[in-house]
Chain A
Amino acid sequence: MTIETTPADGYQHGAAAATTSVVTSRRPSGRTSTAKPRPAPGTEGFSLVRLVGMGVIWIFTAFNCFILYWLLVSSLKTPREIFGSPFGLPHDLFAVGRPLRNWATAWLTSGFGTAFLNTVFVVAVSCVLLVAIGAPAAYALSRLAGARLGGALTTFFVVGLGVPFQTLIIPLFVAMSSMGMVDSLLGLVVVYVALSLPFTVFLLTGFFVSLPDEIEEAAAIDGLGPARTFLTVMLPLARGGVITCVTLNAIGLWNETLLSIVLLRDDSQFTMARALFTFYQTMQYNSDYGALLAGVAIVVLPMFVLYLFLARRIIEGLTLGSGK
């Protein structure tokens, strides 16, 4: 057992109020391990509490995998099967030769097809605009302004993170309806971009600050103006941050529900979350649970695929954003 693992155990011992015997018995090995090279992770000595902790983690992990399986499998089942044999493989719809019946219902009759295209449009345009507006702003705040002014303005932006969207819906709804911008996807895009700025500025100023001054100076000596320095040198260097920022914003906007409910009334303009919300309401009249789960899967799967490719970046971005 290396020293590094002991706090983990200790915390659980403390919680279990059964510390003394286990800890004292391990203390000698803690001393000797400074002389020994550290063993590979996962091969340290045996501890009951640690084992329990690992057991709980495995159960949690298995459960997360199971729900994904359950969601996919259930979206191919009839309601009777979903509740009657929740663990089994789908059978009834395959037996009648229409295995994709739920998906077809969700996609065609319930308008998830249109909603999918609308959402892709809204999220894509929002993310492009967000980088076009947010990255220069973050650069200006972190590198073009003095520390005092830049810091104060950055705080002014970041405070926006703490404003719940519920606070905005009434003034936004009233203002947008008087301008005829309700039911407009572009109107929604403008709102999304504005409301994503606090997080974007927060994350990107962090990235720009971490770039060394020398690079900027070298670019200046080579005769580049500040605008071109930003576009051709600094922005490419902060690429990792920009990708992380776009990914996190894309996930957030893809799943955004409250504002899409408030600002979209006409179902030809619905985004996915909005369509799912309406679809759920019709459930009380026709209990088409299979199609509902297919709808949920249509909302979740694109993000899941994105996550498969970008999990590392997302996690890295969070780590960096909360780092200091």
Chain B
Amino acid sequence: MTTSANEVVRVLARTTSDPGAHARSKGRLFGPFLAPALVLYVAILVLPTLATVALSFTDWSGAGDRPRFNGVDNYRALLKSFPDGAFAHSFVNTLIYVVVGGLGTFLLAFLFAMVLRDMRGSKTIRAILFFPNIVAPLALGMFFGFVFKAPDGLANNMLALIGLDWVKFLSADVVTWVAMSGIVWASAGFYITIIMSAIDRVPAYLYEDAAIAGATAWQKFRNITLPLTWDVVGIAGVLWTISAVKIFELVWVLAGPGSYSPPVGSWTLGVMVFDRTFGGRGTPQYGVACAVAVVMIVLVLLFVVLLRRLMRRDSVQF
């Protein structure tokens, strides 16, 4: 692979630039410089991913067992779990995290970015808002566990201060929404930073022209700010999707006891893969876990393609 790549470069170097010794030695360097990274990447990321895809078509209960090809049985079983099985809950919850959580995060990020733009001390505030992003999701999950503990956690203490009754925040039917608000709060700073940098690049004269033409502030946002930051919003959307699809440890510790899986109603796809592999409830089902993992990848792919299509249509050069 690398030797042929090497040759291509050598040919390119010969035809495009002057065929001097320098260009040739540059080409010779390409292989050694790239090879270690390429080998590691293929061996530890690409091949295992392909192996997972292959294993998703097998029946395999893990150590001591051999994978047996069973066609699309695993996928059929996943489909059959609708409307109320483990996979159905995991799939729907993951979609909720990606879509509703994404909308919430981006709404918050846009609002904050625009108000923060000309606020005193905005650099400091931005740094403080960014802070939760450097905390381990596991630690965040434990922290939320304290905050939303019933009946004597911090949130319920605050409710008591204003004279309200305590709420069971961490029961299986509401914990998804609690976890989601936590994640939105924690990741807002990241997207504020990215979106602010995009808004800062929009030239001010566009707003001046719009003002002279009598545009309302909403029109300015809709017709100037949004189209001109669309590219970056698209990239940020891809990043959000990638991080939201793999949500695992935060839900694991927030919704459950930690040593075994939380109630099925709170599962995400990430939780389900882990449960079917190491969860400790019954025998492991590696084949099923692989099928769920493939669904995760497909979900990422789907959203990325969708977002890119949206982006391309509205992208504006300036």
The number of chain A residues touching the other chain, given as a range, is: 35 or more
Contact of A166 among B40, B139, B273 (CB under 8 A): B273
- Interface: B112 (CB within 8 A): yes
CA distance A303 to B131 in the complex (A): 10
When the two chains form their complex, are residues B274 and A277 in contact, meaning their CB atoms are under 8 A apart? no
Residues of A within 8 A of B221 (CB): 7, 10-11, 14
When the two chains form their complex, are residues B143 and A195 in contact, meaning their CB atoms are under 8 A apart? no
Please judge, given known A-B contacts A4-B118, A57-B115, A144-B33, whether A167 and B211 are in contact too, CB under 8 Å: no
CA distance A140 to B34 in the complex (A): 6
CA distance A53 to B148 in the complex (A): 26
Restricting to B95-112, which residues have a CB under 8 Å from any CB of A?
Answer: 110-112
- Interface: B230 (CB within 8 A): no
CA distance A97 to B313 in the complex (A): 67
When the two chains form their complex, are residues B120 and A137 in contact, meaning their CB atoms are under 8 A apart? no
Residues of A within 8 A of B246 (CB): 164-166
When the two chains form their complex, are residues A149 and B12 in contact, meaning their CB atoms are under 8 A apart? yes
Residues of B within 8 A of A149 (CB): 5, 8-9, 12
Contact of B157 among A86, A134, A190 (CB under 8 A): A86
When the two chains form their complex, are residues A166 and B269 in contact, meaning their CB atoms are under 8 A apart? yes
Minimum CB–CB distance from A117 to chain B (whole Å) comes to 18
CA distance A39 to B52 in the complex (A): 59
- Interface: B75 (CB within 8 A): no
| Binary B-proximity of A120-158 (CB < 8 A = 1, otherwise 0) | 000000000000011011011100111001000100010
Residues of A within 8 A of B22 (CB): 220, 226
CA distance A175 to B50 in the complex (A): 14
Residue of A nearest to B52 (CB): A167
The stretch that binds A, out of B81-89, B171-179, B189-197, is B189-197
When the two chains form their complex, are residues A10 and B220 in contact, meaning their CB atoms are under 8 A apart? yes
Contact of B211 among A3, A172, A225, A322 (CB under 8 A): A3
CA distance A306 to B236 in the complex (A): 25
When the two chains form their complex, are residues B40 and A194 in contact, meaning their CB atoms are under 8 A apart? yes
Contact of B136 among A3, A34, A254, A261 (CB under 8 A): A254
The stretch that binds B, out of A99-107, A108-116, A237-245, A291-299, is A291-299
When the two chains form their complex, are residues A172 and B48 in contact, meaning their CB atoms are under 8 A apart? yes
- Interface: A251 (CB within 8 A): yes
- Interface: B77 (CB within 8 A): no
When the two chains form their complex, are residues A64 and B131 in contact, meaning their CB atoms are under 8 A apart? yes
- Interface: A186 (CB within 8 A): no
| Binary B-proximity of A31-49 (CB < 8 A = 1, otherwise 0) | 1001000000110100000
CA distance A304 to B40 in the complex (A): 31
Restricting to A2-32, which residues have a CB under 8 Å from any CB of B?
Answer: 2-14, 19-20, 23, 27, 30-31
When the two chains form their complex, are residues B29 and A10 in contact, meaning their CB atoms are under 8 A apart? no
The number of chain B residues touching the other chain, given as a range, is: 35 or more
Minimum CB–CB distance from B183 to chain A (whole Å) comes to 14
Minimum CB–CB distance from B216 to chain A (whole Å) comes to 5
When the two chains form their complex, are residues B125 and A57 in contact, meaning their CB atoms are under 8 A apart? yes
Please judge, given known A-B contacts A57-B115, A137-B36, whether A163 and B29 are in contact too, CB under 8 Å: no
When the two chains form their complex, are residues B37 and A137 in contact, meaning their CB atoms are under 8 A apart? yes
Residues of A within 8 A of B8 (CB): 146, 149
Contact of A137 among B9, B38, B153 (CB under 8 A): B38
Minimum CB–CB distance from B21 to chain A (whole Å) comes to 10
- Interface: A61 (CB within 8 A): yes
When the two chains form their complex, are residues A193 and B40 in contact, meaning their CB atoms are under 8 A apart? yes
- Interface: B306 (CB within 8 A): no
When the two chains form their complex, are residues A19 and B136 in contact, meaning their CB atoms are under 8 A apart? no
Minimum CB–CB distance from A244 to chain B (whole Å) comes to 13
Restricting to B41-67, which residues have a CB under 8 Å from any CB of A?
Answer: 41, 43-49, 51-52, 55, 63
A contact residues vs B (CB 8 Å cutoff): 2-14, 19-20, 23, 27, 30-31, 34, 41-42, 44, 50, 53-54, 56-57, 60-61, 64-65, 67-68, 70-71, 74, 82-84, 86, 133-134, 136-137, 139-141, 144-146, 149, 153, 157, 160-173, 175, 177, 190-191, 193-195, 197-198, 201, 220, 225-227, 230, 251, 254-255, 257-258, 261-262, 273, 276-277, 280-281, 283-284, 289, 292-293, 296, 299-300, 303-304, 306-307, 311, 314-315, 318-319, 322-324
The 6 A-B pairs at the shortest CB distance, nearest first, are namely: A10-B217, A8-B114, A255-B136, A137-B37, A194-B44, A14-B218
Between A and B, 18 residue pairs with Cβ closer than 8 Å are: A4-B117, A7-B207, A11-B217, A57-B119, A60-B112, A64-B131, A133-B36, A136-B33, A157-B37, A157-B41, A166-B293, A167-B296, A168-B45, A170-B277, A195-B44, A258-B274, A277-B253, A315-B130
User: What would 4 more interface pairs be, CB under 8 Å, given A86-B157, A300-B135?
Assistant: A2-B118, A4-B117, A86-B154, A258-B270
